[in-house]
C-alpha cells in the first residue's frame, strides 16, 4: 500500500465486491490506484502486488 497520493493513476469510488476486486486487479497490472469505500472517511492507495486478495 502506497502513501504517495500524487502517484495514483486511477481512482475508484465504491469498494463493494466488484469495486474491491477491480481495484486489486488494476493494481496487480502495475497501476497505482486510489480507492474509497462509500461512507468511509479514508482513501486506500494500492500499488502493484498489493496484499488483500
pLDDT tens readout for residues 18-27? 998 999 999 9
Cα(21)–Cα(41) distance, integer angstroms: 20
Q: Number of helices (H) and strands (E), helices first, in the chain?
A: 1, 3
Q: How far is CA 2 from the centre of its chain?
A: 10
Instruction: Please tell me what DSSP assigns to residue 17.
Output: H
Q: What pTM, to 2 d.p., does this model score?
A: 0.68
The boundaries of the domain holding residue 13 are 5-30+38-46
Is the model's pLDDT at 8 over the cut of 90?
no
Contact 14, 37 (CB under 8 A): yes
* Domain membership flag for residue 51: no
By the 8 A CB rule, do 27 and 47 touch?
yes
Mean pLDDT value of segment 35-53: 75
* Domain total of the chain: 1
Domain assignment present for residue 42? The answer is yes
Amino acid at each position: 500500500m502506497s502513501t504517495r497520493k500524487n502517484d495514483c493513476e486511477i481512482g475508484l469510488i465504491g469498494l463493494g465486491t466488484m469495486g474491491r476486486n477491480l481495484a486489486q486487479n488494476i493494481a496487480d497490472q502495475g497501476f497505482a490506484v486510489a480507492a474509497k469505500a462509500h461512507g468511509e472517511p479514508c482513501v486506500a492507495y494500492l500499488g502493484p502486488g498489493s496484499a488483500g486478495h
